[in-house]
Each structure stands twice: as structure tokens, then as C-alpha cells.
Chain A
Amino acid sequence: MAYWLEYESRDTPIHKGVQTLTKLVVFGCIGLLAGLWWDPRYQLLLVIPAILLIRASKLPLGWFKVVALAIVTSLYPVTLTAIGQTNPNLFKVLDKTWATTPIAVVTLPIAGRVGLTYGSIMWMLAAELRTLVVASYAFVFIYTTSMAELTDTLLTLKVPRPVIFVVSIAYKLIPQLQRVVDHILSAQRLRGWTLRYSNPVKIVRRAMPLMKPLMRRAAMLTEQITIATEIRAFGTGKPTPTRPLKLNRIDYIIMGITIVLTLIGLYGLAFHNAGLL
């Protein structure tokens, strides 16, 4: 069973049929558009292919628990930023009157007019959808790409070897650490440990039985994995990619469509404010 952020070998079209470079191009383009677009309706356009990819790659939906947590915890800073967006001049595409229609707005002595408007709600939605979109594509990429495939592709792309080394170690270490966390958590729960306080100071103190073994094991694992890679000469010479980049017709088609659509998106954004609020 794959842990969160762990590659799993499966017989799906995304695992077997698409090259790593293609996935990198798709991920890069989507990430670019997701970062630039501020209209949630545009972000929704990116969610649709994400859902298709998630289904096609059979990505475990449990991975999204972390995204849900991230969205919930980011609500506070996102809302804090959103409530400041009551100025009509901030909106270039939406009807300014509609966008600044107050839902709950107050006027404060120094901050001025703050609160939720239709426009700020749209902005908040876009911010949270962006998290979902980027996470979805990143998850699909990690779940369907092995460390060897990624390393070979990065080598072919002439990415500096220290960068590849760090990426590779992280790729191997993150799932291993989750196994360790799982073991530590179980071992301490079997000794009656629970995180039952609401006081943050007490929670931190209470977390020591988890944190200390985790830090120790993380250090041990990092050392073991570093040694295991070094003794096989990783990062010492100029490596040979064992799977030279060989793109299939489907890769060219996917990359072509993605790049064209991205260029259209960028053109629309640059010259017609498409994707902005």
C-alpha cells in the first residue's frame, strides 16, 4: 500500500503510457496557469482534467485529506486577505459594482472598509481552488512516476546533479518517514498516549513522545539512505541515463495540446485579462 506521496507501480495509462517529461510539461503548464489565473471559473477548467487524471491513475483519494486540512487551515489567512479587497479598482474584469456588493462589510477607523463582497468571495474561491489544482497534479505526478524515471528525465534535461540528489533523497525519504510516524504513533498509543489537551503549550509538551523518536529516526533514515546512495556512486560522477528519453506519439500529442492551450491561456491573460477578476 502506497503511503502519502509515495510512488506505486500500477498498470494504468498514466503510469505506463506517459513519459515523465510529458508529465513534467503538463504539470508545469497547469501550475503556471493556476498561479496566474484569479477567476475561480477558470480554475474550474483546470479541475476537470485533474479529476480525469486522478481517476485514470487510480490515485488513492485518501491523499486529499492533507489538502482538505491545508484548505481549512489556510482559510484564516486567505479570508484575512480577502476582506481587504473592497476597493472597486482591484477588479479589472468583473463588474465593479457587482464585485464590491457587500455581503458583510464594516468600516473600521484605520483599515477603512473591510469585509466580504462578491468579488472577495470569488478571490477566496480561486485561492483555495488553486491549492486543490496544484496538489492534484503534483499527487498524480508523484504517484505515477518512479524515482528512476524522474532521475533519468532530470539527467536528460541537464538538471544539476546536486538538485537531482536532493529530489531523489526526498522522494525516497518522505514515504519512509510516514511509515516511521505510523509506527511511533502506534507504539505510543499502546502506552496510553493521547493528544487530549486543547492548550497549545500542553500539546507541544505532549507531542514529545512523538517528536523525539521521529527526529532520531529521521536522522537515522536520512543517513542510511544517503549512505545507500553514496555507496552506489550516486552524485560522484557524470551518470548515464539508463532510459534515454524516448517520447511516443501520445506524449507529443499531450505535450502539444498542453503547450498550445497554455499559450492561448497566457495570450488571453496578457491581452484580454482572461482569468483575472
Chain B
Amino acid sequence: MTILLLLALVAAILAAWGSVASRNPTDYFAAGRRGGVWLVGVAGTAAGVSAFTFVGGPGLFALVGAGSLWMILSAPLTGALQCWVAGEPIVRLARGGAILTVPELVAACAGRPAQAVAALVIVVGSVASLAVQTKAAAVLGEVFLGVEGTLAALVAMSATALYTALGGMRAGLVADAVQGGVMAVVAAGLAAWALAAAGGPAAALHTLSAHRPELLGSFGAVPPAQAFAWYALFCLGTLAQPHYLQKFLFLSDRSQLRWLPAVLTGALATTLTVWLGVGLAGSALVARGQLELTHPDDLAPRLVALLGPWAVALAGTAALAALMSTSASFLNLAAAAVTRDLPASLGWAPRGVAAARLATLLVVATATALGLASDRAVAMLGLLGWGFFTAALLPTVALGLAWDSVRPVAAATAMAAGAIVDLSLEAVRPALPRGLEPGLAGAAVGTLVLVGLSLLANRTARAVPRGRR
């Protein structure tokens, strides 16, 4: 309860500062374009890492062993990949000052119809992701902080909404960076603590080798095709996550990009140690009979409970920080889509900061209600995550920033096709061949649609006499 009260107090202070500092749309949506490499790098990592890393990741290790690591194996590459493919052109496009949101970026590459579809994708995906974060806050509050789940979820989402609605990304960026720092330090500390409790990494490996050999090897219990598909999904998918792309709009100038991959990679790798450390140590302790699990997701909570009350408090704080930083970005993205991008795509003037504040509150209320209303709905909404954004946005963002022949209708159709393929395949996921990831399949279909329709449109345009265009 003390942690929740502290959280509310800090959020109120941040909101008060943010409401004064955030005076115009550039402040509100793009943090005033004042971000340096450390602030943007650590905040970008915080926004990208959700509570799944602290709970779901170690749980997945207990279930499939080393195979789970293929989800995070691309971490050394993704910082540089994002900067090469997306960061450099985004910073150049944003230099003129007209681009403040991800759909505006899509419009710059692919026209107004694409902006409308990108805005819809972001609203749907953001509300769904926020609903999942709400549910995660409820579960984490009960497990780590010992408070009633609904209360924990309401406090966490209200605190996030308070500083995000009043301060926009000026407040959100600072909060994300602080949360990112807390997460990285706590994650590394918990990983080391857990491994020490298991007798060290070598002892944990020997235990698993003797009792659970199926968890070891390069792939653990995951077929190689599935492992490589995860690798590609979480590598290429970084180019399509709106909360990742948004951070490039915050940079003060292009020179900040030079060392941004180093900060992104360092912060991400430090945070991900919790996946490996807690996963490996916890699995070894389970194999020795020192921990009992009823469900793989119980691994992290049970292990930190074994480590003591300080570990529980630290893990709870880090997990709350993870879900709040992710939520702040999605709230701002959804508010921007509703008040700037959808009106702009209809030819109307973008609404101002006051409308965005109102939209932020409406979005958080909708998402919190959805998150708390039904487990079944949340489970379905959980499908609209990383894979959904990858399927819908990857072709248009990655190719649109590199290829000037992308056509507006082609981009809009490709985004819709990618999203539909992803959702359709997610609905029948258990029946899919291992290696067919819905997010990757959606992006693949979207790519073929984007290039095919663009080619067709360009040929048609060339065939029309110049005077009739």
C-alpha cells in the first residue's frame, strides 16, 4: 500500500510540472523535441518492456527452457536496426516540425488514406494493450504488493493517466526514463539474487541437465522453426511498434542517433537479465523441489517470495514501472490518433492539447473498464499486441521509409490486410504449423500487397496521358 501511495504522490507532482511544461502540441506529443540520447534511450526501452518481461518471460523459461530466449536473442541487433531503418529517416522527416505522431509519419511516406488506417490500427492496438496492462496491474498488485487487484489496477492506471493527460510526453518521457532506470537496476539485481539462491549459474545448469534436460540445448522444448520465427518476429517487429517509433520524434537533433543504439541495447540487455536469471534459477529450484508451481507464470512471484520481502517489494515496483511506462506511451499514441490523425485524414483541423487531455482520459477509462470487466475479453485483447502492430505497420513503415514508389491506397490496403491476416491466424493459432507466426505472416502478406498494388498503380499512372492526371 505504501508503494501505491508513493506512486500516486510522484504522479501528482509530475502531472503538476507537466501541465505547466506542456503548452503546445509539440510539447504534448513529441516531448518538445528536447530529448537527448540518454533520456530517449532509457525511456524508449522502458516503454518497450512490459510486465511480461518480469513475469511471463521467466515463466516461459520454466515451460520451454532455452527456447524462450529466442524471443530476446535479437536484442543486440534491434537498437542499430531501428536507427538504420527507421530512426534516421524519421529524424530527417520530423526536422521540418510538421510531424508529431506516427500516423503523420505514415502519411509523409504513403499519403492520407494510409494515415487514417494507421490511426485506427494504433487506437485499436493501444486500447487493447492498455486493457492487458490493466489486468497485469491487478494480478501484480495481488501477487507482489499484497493489495486487492482492482485497487492496484485503478491506482496504477489513474496515476499513469494523471501525468500523461496533463503533461503529455514532456512528463511521460521523464517518467519513462526514471522507470526504465529503476527497471534495469532491479532486473539485474533480481537476476543476480535469484542465481545466487540457486547456487550460481553453473549449479543451476547442472541441475537442469540432470533433472530437466529437455529445457536445455539451444532450443529447449521449442522446435527450431518456431524459435527462428520468434527471433524474426521480435527483431523485425521493433520497426513497427508505434511506441518505439514515437521515441525518434522526441530527439533534439540527428547527432543524438549516433550512440542511441548503445543506450537502447545496454538498457534492454540489462533489463532482460531478469528473464534469463530468474528463469534459469527458478527452473533449477523447481527441479530440486525447493519451489512448487501450479502454473508457469507463478515462477517469478514464488521465487521472489522465497528471496524475501525486499525482493517482493522490488519486483513489484519494477513490474509496476514496466507496465506504467508502456501504458503512458500507448495513452499518448491513442490520444494523438483520435485528436490529430483521424481528423486530419478526414480533412479537418487537428484538435489541440485540451482535446488530447480529454481523449487520454476517455481512452484510459475505456481500457481500464475492458481490462477489469472480463478475463475472456482480456485474453482475446492480448492477441492485439506485438504481432498485430508488426503485421499491420511493418511493410508500410520499413518500405515506406526506403522506397518512394509506395502508393496511398496500396499502403492502406496492406495495413488492413496485415491486420486481418494476423487476427484470423491468431484465432486458430493452436492449429497452425510451428514456424507460422501470425504477426510475421500478416507482415509478409502486407508486403506482397503493398508492393504489388504500388507497382500496379505506378504502371496505371504512367499509362495515363500526362494532361489527364
A binds B: no
